[in-house]
Structure 1
């Protein structure tokens, strides 16, 4: 029986032309025997500018829906996520070779690990890449570590939420991505870190594209009042989950 990894991508018109690059990076992934991927591309909106850029492949499913932001698009895509694991791939990013197999190995080897992340390189407009210091050591990430680092370092997480690979049941139990205009992926990452151990791979897992149209580069993203509100609710959710003492996995790990 074939087992499945669901790759979820939220897309809107300005980033749609990057989809072929994302698809190539996904198509080049190699998985262990008995595993396959399925790509759910969910448009944040219902226009006619995204569909022409979606690759024609039986492993790719494209849907549209009412506009609500990338977190809403990803979460509604979960209705069709019929695999054991979910991998995030933003429309303008590219997976690095081998990342799906590495993520899968980490979670298949240890049932106490609920999610995985990996090293990121910025993909610059000229095609070059750039890394940045501060990655944690490779291996397990204990509960609360990312949250504590985030709070102590100006709301910057120690691992990148755009690289997230997560057990589907855990993702659904937490309600998917947060209903925020931005930082919805950070909110999910910190919630996951409150309830489950994670994993960090020091091998590059993602090329994170930098371009003038990306949402995180817009002025609204750094509006002080909104940013403070986002950070407050993100932290409150994570702290509350931690205080409730709910843990994943619920049962024995052996």
Structure 2
């Protein structure tokens, strides 16, 4: 179990000017969370850029930390936010999304209850402009997700995972060991999900853990996101990384290999 002094969960949010207006609703959903006894959250917001539009939308709350930086996309912003993330776990919350009641408590219960689980995901619902929601068919069963299962499903289903990367809650040390999010113009969260699944078991909760807002300004709704050439390249490097991590983890240390198989080092 986690020591009492470390019982904080970092909620990491990347934001850019077009999505800044949604921060108030995200904050409201965060404040409504009831955590496990003795736990608290802190919200680490990182702007992808440095604009007046975002700063003015950040809540005035001691539990909220805000920084700005050079634009590089949401993956870069989230990774930069890790410098300020305290506690053993990191929860993802995009600026335009909402956390339903109980989401953080369920993530914490799983990760605190089983040290072999490295990350959690949960059911997501699309939040449509009229306020209605829509679900996804084919959610997996509640319970553990074995290593490699996400990659297998993803490759067999036109590069679509059976769990949503925007619902991730992950052990902070594991996230840092993998280098945070991938340096991609998009799909950086899918790349992280597959990397996590390559090296550790995960968990899926069938309880709704995210309301994923659909709106005209979201990055995944832009034409560049579905450009065939770029998408093919993104998917190729995401898959290659996941397979390399899975293979690397299975290799014995150099000291356990026969001398003839060890690499030779020369000046």
Per the normalisation by structure 1, the TM-score is: 0.96
- Pairing 1:53-202 to 2, within 5 Å after superposition: 53-202=57-206
Asked which structure has the greater CA Rg, the reply is 2
* CA–CA separation in structure 2 for the residues paired with 1:33 and 1:99: 15
* C-alpha distance after superposition, 1:118-163 (max 9, x if no partner): 0000000000001010111000000000010000000000100000
In angstroms, what is the RMSD of aligned CA positions? 0.9
Alignment of 1:231 with 2:235, yes or no, is yes
Per the normalisation by structure 2, the TM-score is: 0.91
Instruction: Give the number of aligned pairs.
Output: 247
* C-alpha distance after superposition, 1:50-92 (max 9, x if no partner): 0111111110011001100000000011011111100000000
Give the drift of 1:32.
Answer: 1.4
Give the drift of 1:246.
Answer: 5.6
Give 2:19's aligned residue. 15
* CA–CA separation in structure 1 for the residues paired with 2:21 and 2:87: 27
Pick closer, same or farther for the CA change 1:246–1:91 going to 2, 3 Å: farther
Structure 1 stretches of at least 4 aligned residues deviating more than 2 Å after TM superposition:
none
Q: Tell whether the 8 Å contact from 2:100 to 2:208 is kept in structure 1 after alignment.
A: yes
Q: Tell whether the 8 Å contact from 1:194 to 1:242 is kept in structure 2 after alignment.
A: yes
Q: Tell whether the 8 Å contact from 1:142 to 1:193 is kept in structure 2 after alignment.
A: yes
Aligned counterpart in structure 2 of residue 207 of structure 1, from 202, 207, 211: 211
Query: 2:40 aligns to what SS in structure 1?
Result: strand
Query: 1:49 aligns to what SS in structure 2?
Result: helix
Q: Tell whether the 8 Å contact from 2:36 to 2:108 is kept in structure 1 after alignment.
A: no
Q: Point out where structure 1 has 5 or more consecutive residues left out of the alignment.
A: 248-254
Query: 1:245 aligns to what SS in structure 2?
Result: helix
Q: Point out where structure 2 has 5 or more consecutive residues left out of the alignment.
A: 252-267
